[in-house]
């Protein structure tokens, strides 16, 4: 079973061949979702009665935050597989995902603070959600730093795997402790970033944007993985 | 299976650095009572090969097996039977000679009489001296004391005779000869000829370097 | 066999402590650093008593974090350069046990003195007696976690040249829960609120990291030391 | 149509598109470089 998997999906060559036809499909899916989400999100969806049109930032903020966490989860799964079975393709996937995840986290922070300005009257607030996203950014940066510090590719793959796993164990703890910290310090209790019982006309564009962002991640990661595979081919 | 029936098997081993192949297609079988010398010029991958044999590095191709099991998968069993001395001594410089020996005893769960070992390596008079005050040759002797502490069947020695004087060399020789006579195995890397003849030789790098 | 492990653990820990204590300067520097950092704050902020008292928990905890990271850099570095790490790797004992001895000795040599100095610093920052107790107890629970998590990072970066700033960058984010609970408990003590539940949370953190960190450190050592 | 907070919304969206574009740009530049290397070797 493992040999079959290895032959058809896990070997670098098979991955390269299999993804050749996959890229256009991902691209189409991404474009459809993105254009639909953008258009309906910006123009069709009704304005929120509390926040007016300001809530429309949700269509870029929430998907990027979601993608940032999704990418970390993907990395952690890849790290597990790399450590247990020493599969190369997952190690490449993990190393390519890191920078993309960092970009999405940064995007979530920027859009979050742009949203915060009209809603809270300030660019930055030490709100539980923003703070934990900020910490996620630090973890991503640490990952990238470790990755660039180790020269030997095999050591690098395994070391970053361990680091990612430490991160995934820690993230829930960090998240809940930050929430507790937030209530302790009696920060402003406006939780406008969460939109409770959202109307379906507002929800569909959001779902479309979330899938667009995830597809975008897959698109970039596949392109970059193919690059890495070629790179390793050249080196050997 | 007989208890002496150990065997280390190097099977189609290859290792490459980021850009170039260090060695490839390496085959060798080591049986009890055999001594293998690994030869090659500087940078030919002697230390790397030994580190692969010790399980610190993973080869890019092929595998090393101990009694038929891959050494990385069956590490516990292998480690019980193997000891490794690298080109670094692994001596703690701010412990005394005696403390260093005791530390090694603990690490290798040995209960040998340390005074005899100290006498053998010629550091009896210096046993209370901090290791940072020892000369390079004395440090190497202290490091080689590890061979007397373990009951390992397989010795992997990387340039064991560096910095040793004549007496130290002959001490090393007697140790290895005794070990081989007791059905032990040894893999020794060195670029100089050994005083005792190896059973087999692995050449790395240029094959006409003999 | 089990008894043997405990025996080995104590013997090795004693040796490690000896090794750390004998290189006196490297051992003392982080503690001096800790004191200096804490003293910088009143100098920078001025002697506003109210402000100092409300800032004290954060100041002390951040300084403790930094001091721990400073001392963490040496945890495996010397072993690696002297070749002692190779000895540990070919020892017959499980790597997680050996990692635990290193971590324990680090905590005894660097965590405990930190805890002993901190009441003094707390007095300098005008903390009340209850808060001083809270400070000692939270540090007592928090510093083992710092040592345990830090060891993973130290093991991963052991072969990296000039890892001085890489290590803090790597493990600081993971220290945040400890920082939050440590300072949080002190603030709640200041406000006379019940804190037992949060001590329990810190205890849980200790147990969790005690479970994961030695194993991961062992693995990380195996990976980090491959050269 | 968007009546209030226009500037914030537009800037959030344009930054999003900019960062997404940046990611594509980096990936494609990497690809171009590697293909160039491949041709040479």
Q: Do C83 and B86 touch (CB under 8 A)?
A: yes
The ipTM value here is 0.89
Give residue C48's pLDDT: 83
Q: Do C19 and B56 touch (CB under 8 A)?
A: no
Q: Are C135 and C185 in contact (CB under 8 A)?
A: no
Name the helix (H) or strand (E) containing C144.
helix C129-156
What DSSP line would sit under chain A, residue for residue?
Answer: -HHHHIIIIISHHHHHHHHHTHHHHHHHHHHHHHHHHHHIIIIISPPBTTTBGGGGGHHHHHHHHHHHHHHHHHHHHHHHHHHHH--HHHHHHHHHHHHHHHHHHHHHHHHHHHHHHHHHSSS----HHHHHHHHHHHHHHHHHHHHHH--SHHHHHHHHHHHHHHHHHHHHHHHHHHHHHHHHTT-----TTS--S--HHHHHHHHHHHHHHHHHHHHHHHHHHHHHHHHHHHH-
Q: Are A82 and A149 in contact (CB under 8 A)?
A: no
Cβ-nearest to B84 among C4, C86, C93:
C86
Give residue A1's pLDDT: 62
The number of domains in chain A is 1
Cβ–Cβ contact B18 with A under 8 A: yes
What percent of chain A clears pLDDT 70, i.e. is strictly above it? Answer: 87
Give residue A218's pLDDT: 96
Q: Put the strands of the sheet holding B8-16 in their side by side order.
A: B21-30, B8-16, B61-66, B69-70
Residue of B173 and C214 predicted with greater confidence = C214
Identify all chain C residues contacting A149, using CB atoms and an 8 Å cutoff.
157, 160, 163, 166
pLDDT beneath 50, residues of chain B: 1-2, 207-210
pLDDT band at A71 (very low <50, low <70, confident <90, very high): very high
Q: Are C71 and C30 in contact (CB under 8 A)?
A: yes
Q: How far is A146 from chain D (nearest CA, A)?
A: 20
Give residue B2's pLDDT: 43
Question: Best mutation site among C90, C96, C219, C226 for testing chain B: the one with the most B CBs within 10 Å?
Answer: C90
Q: Are A53 and D3 in contact (CB under 8 A)?
A: yes
Give residue A214's pLDDT: 96
Residue that is written with structure tokens 């020789």 in the block:
B173
Give residue A49's pLDDT: 66
pLDDT band at C28 (very low <50, low <70, confident <90, very high): very high
Identify all chain B residues contacting C83, using CB atoms and an 8 Å cutoff.
86-90
Give residue A14's pLDDT: 85
| pLDDT score of A232 more than 60 | yes
On the 0-12 / 13-18 / 19+ scale of CB atoms within 10 A, C164 is exposed
For residue D41, the tally of other CB atoms under 10 A from its CB is 6
On the 0-12 / 13-18 / 19+ scale of CB atoms within 10 A, B104 is buried
Give residue A5's pLDDT: 66
Question: Best mutation site among D10, D23, D33 for testing chain A: the one with the most A CBs within 10 Å?
Answer: D23
Give residue B114's pLDDT: 86
What DSSP line would sit under B77-130, residue for residue?
Answer: HHHHTEEEE-SS----TTSBHHHHHHHHHHHTT----HHHHHHHTT-GGGTTSB
pLDDT band at A191 (very low <50, low <70, confident <90, very high): very low
For residue B17, give the chain A residue with the closest CA.
Answer: A152
Cβ-nearest to C225 among B56, B79, B91:
B56
Between the two ends of chain C, the Cα-to-Cα distance in Å is: 32
What is the mean pLDDT of the segment spanning A62-77?
95
Cβ-nearest to C82 among B80, B84, B88:
B88
pLDDT in tens, chain D (41 residues): 566 677 888 899 999 999 999 999 999 999 999 988 888 87
pLDDT band at A216 (very low <50, low <70, confident <90, very high): very high
Give residue D7's pLDDT: 85
Identify all chain D residues contacting A193, using CB atoms and an 8 Å cutoff.
none
Give residue C92's pLDDT: 86
Give the pLDDT confidence of C163-192 residue by residue, as tens digits. Answer: 678 999 999 999 999 999 999 999 899 888
Give residue A30's pLDDT: 95
Q: Are A150 and A159 in contact (CB under 8 A)?
A: yes
Q: Do B18 and A152 touch (CB under 8 A)?
A: yes
Q: How far is B29 from chain C (nearest CA, A)?
A: 22
Q: How far is C102 from chain B (nearest CA, A)?
A: 13
Cβ–Cβ contact B83 with C under 8 A: yes
pLDDT band at A129 (very low <50, low <70, confident <90, very high): confident
For residue A168, the tally of other CB atoms under 10 A from its CB is 16
Q: Nearest to residue B96, comparing CAs of B54, B127, B62, B141? A: B127
Give residue B193's pLDDT: 64
Give residue D37's pLDDT: 86
On the 0-12 / 13-18 / 19+ scale of CB atoms within 10 A, B44 is buried
What's the domain range around A75?
57-235
What's the domain range around C129?
2-224
| Distance between CA atoms of residues B54 and C174, nearest Å | 34
Identify all chain C residues contacting B87, using CB atoms and an 8 Å cutoff.
83
Give residue A198's pLDDT: 64
Q: How far is B55 from chain A (nearest CA, A)?
A: 14
| Distance between CA atoms of residues B116 and B173, nearest Å | 18
Q: Nearest to residue C193, comparing CAs of C140, C136, C127, C130? A: C130
Distances in Å between the alpha carbon of B45 and those of A52, B158, B185, B186, C222? Answer: 69, 11, 21, 18, 20
What is the mean pLDDT of the segment spanning C23-43?
93
Cβ-Cβ contacts under 8 Å for B116 (sequence gap 6 or more): none
Give residue A2's pLDDT: 64
Give residue A189's pLDDT: 45
| pLDDT score of A225 more than 60 | yes
Which of residues 158 through 187 in chain C touch A, CB cutoff 8 A? 159-160, 163, 166, 169-174, 176-177, 180-181, 184, 187
The number of domains in chain C is 1
Give the pLDDT confidence of B73-90 residue by residue, as tens digits. Answer: 888 888 888 999 988 888
Give the pLDDT confidence of A113-123 residue by residue, as tens digits. Answer: 988 888 778 88
Identify all chain A residues contacting B18, using CB atoms and an 8 Å cutoff.
151-153, 235
Q: Nearest to residue B158, comparing CAs of B47, B65, B56? A: B47
Give the pLDDT confidence of C97-127 residue by residue, as tens digits. Answer: 999 999 999 999 999 999 999 999 999 988 8
Cβ-Cβ contacts under 8 Å for A109 (sequence gap 6 or more): A130, A133, A134, A137
Cβ-nearest to A163 among C156, C176, C226:
C156
Identify all chain D residues contacting A61, using CB atoms and an 8 Å cutoff.
12
Residue B127 backbone phi and psi in degrees, to 5: -65, -25
Identify all chain A residues contacting C219, using CB atoms and an 8 Å cutoff.
83, 162
Cβ-Cβ contacts under 8 Å for B127 (sequence gap 6 or more): B96, B97, B98, B118
Cβ–Cβ contact A107 with D under 8 A: yes
List chains adjacent to chain D, taking adjacency as at least 3 C-beta pairs closer than 8 Å. A
Give residue C46's pLDDT: 83
Cβ-Cβ contacts under 8 Å for A156 (sequence gap 6 or more): A95, A146, A147, A150
Q: Do A83 and C172 touch (CB under 8 A)?
A: no
Q: Do C177 and A169 touch (CB under 8 A)?
A: no
| Distance between CA atoms of residues A220 and A101, nearest Å | 11
Q: How far is C7 from chain A (nearest CA, A)?
A: 30
| Distance between CA atoms of residues A176 and B44, nearest Å | 53
| pLDDT score of A186 more than 60 | no
């Amino acid at each position: 079973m493992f040999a079959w998997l290895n032959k058809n999906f896990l070997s670098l060559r098979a991955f390269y061949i299999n993804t050749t036809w996959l890229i256009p499909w991902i691209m189409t899916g991404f474009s459809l979702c993105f254009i639909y989400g953008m258009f309906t999100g910006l123009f069709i969806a009704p304005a929120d009665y509390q926040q007016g049109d300001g809530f429309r930032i949700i269509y870029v903020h929430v998907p990027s935050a979601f993608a940032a966490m999704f990418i970390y989860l993907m990395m952690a799964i890849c790290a597990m597989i790399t450590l247990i079975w020493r599969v190369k393709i997952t190690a490449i996937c993990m190393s390519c995902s890191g920078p993309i995840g960092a970009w999405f986290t940064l995007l979530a922070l920027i859009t979050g603070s742009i949203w915060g300005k009209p809603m809270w009257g300030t660019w930055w607030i030490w709100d539980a959600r923003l703070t934990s996203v900020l910490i996620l950014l630090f973890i991503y940066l640490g990952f990238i730093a470790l990755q660039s510090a180790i020269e030997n590719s095999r050591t690098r793959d395994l070391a970053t795997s361990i680091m990612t796993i430490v991160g995934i164990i820690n993230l829930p703890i960090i998240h809940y402790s930050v929430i507790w910290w937030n209530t302790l310090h009696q920060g402003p209790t406006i939780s406008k970033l969460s939109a409770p019982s959202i109307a379906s006309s507002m929800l569909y564009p959001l779902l479309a944007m979330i899938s667009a962002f995830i597809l975008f991640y897959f698109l970039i990661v596949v392109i970059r993985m193919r690059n890495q595979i070629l790179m390793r081919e050249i080196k050997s | 299976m007989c208890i002496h029936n150990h065997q280390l098997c190097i099977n189609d081993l290859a290792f490459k650095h980021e850009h170039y192949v260090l060695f490839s297609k390496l085959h060798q079988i080591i049986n009890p009572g055999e001594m293998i010398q690994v030869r090659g010029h500087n940078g030919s991958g002697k230390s790397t090969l030994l580190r692969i044999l010790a399980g610190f590095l993973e080869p890019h191709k092929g595998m090393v097996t101990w009694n038929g099991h891959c050494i990385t998968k069956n590490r516990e069993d292998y480690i019980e039977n193997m000891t490794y001395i690298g080109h670094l001594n692994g001596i703690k410089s701010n412990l005394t000679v005696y403390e260093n020996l005791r530390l090694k005893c603990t690490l290798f769960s040995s209960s040998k009489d340390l005074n005899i070992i100290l006498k053998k390596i010629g550091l009896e008079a210096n046993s209370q001296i901090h290791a940072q005050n020892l000369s390079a040759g004395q440090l190497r002797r202290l490091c080689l004391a590890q061979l007397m502490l373990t009951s390992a069947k397989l010795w992997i020695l990387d340039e064991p005779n560096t910095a040793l004087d004549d007496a130290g060399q002959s001490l090393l020789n007697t140790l290895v000869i005794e070990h081989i006579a007791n059905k032990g195995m040894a893999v020794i890397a060195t670029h100089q000829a050994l005083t005792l003849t190896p059973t087999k030789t692995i050449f790395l790098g240029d094959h006409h370097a003999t | 066999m089990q008894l043997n492990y405990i025996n080995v653990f104590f013997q090795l820990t004693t040796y490690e402590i000896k090794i750390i204590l004998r290189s006196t300067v490297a051992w003392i520097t982080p503690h001096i650093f800790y004191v200096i950092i804490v003293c910088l704050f009143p100098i920078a902020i001025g002697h506003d008593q109210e402000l100092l008292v409300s800032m004290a928990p954060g100041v002390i905890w951040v300084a403790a974090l930094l001091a721990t990271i400073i001392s963490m850099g040496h945890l495996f570095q010397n072993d690696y350069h002297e070749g002692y790490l190779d000895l540990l790797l070919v020892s017959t004992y499980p790597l997680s046990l050996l990692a635990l001895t290193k971590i324990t000795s680090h905590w005894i040599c660097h965590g405990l003195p930190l805890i002993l100095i901190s009441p003094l610093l707390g007095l300098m920052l005008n903390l009340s007696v209850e808060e001083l107790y809270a400070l000692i107890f939270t540090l007592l629970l928090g510093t083992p976690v710092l040592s345990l998590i830090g060891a993973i990072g130290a093991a991963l970066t052991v072969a990296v040249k000039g890892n001085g700033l890489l290590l803090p960058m790597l493990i600081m984010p993971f220290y945040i829960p400890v920082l939050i609970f440590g300072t949080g408990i002190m603030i709640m003590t200041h406000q006379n609120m019940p804190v037992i539940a949060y001590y329990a949370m810190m205890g849980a953190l200790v147990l969790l990291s005690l479970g994961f960190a030695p194993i991961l450190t062992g693995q990380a050592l195996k990976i980090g030391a491959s050269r | 149509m968007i009546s209030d907070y226009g500037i914030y919304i537009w800037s959030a969206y344009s930054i999003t598109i900019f960062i997404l574009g940046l990611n594509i740009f980096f990936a494609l530049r990497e690809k171009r470089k590697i293909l160039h290397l491949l041709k040479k070797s």
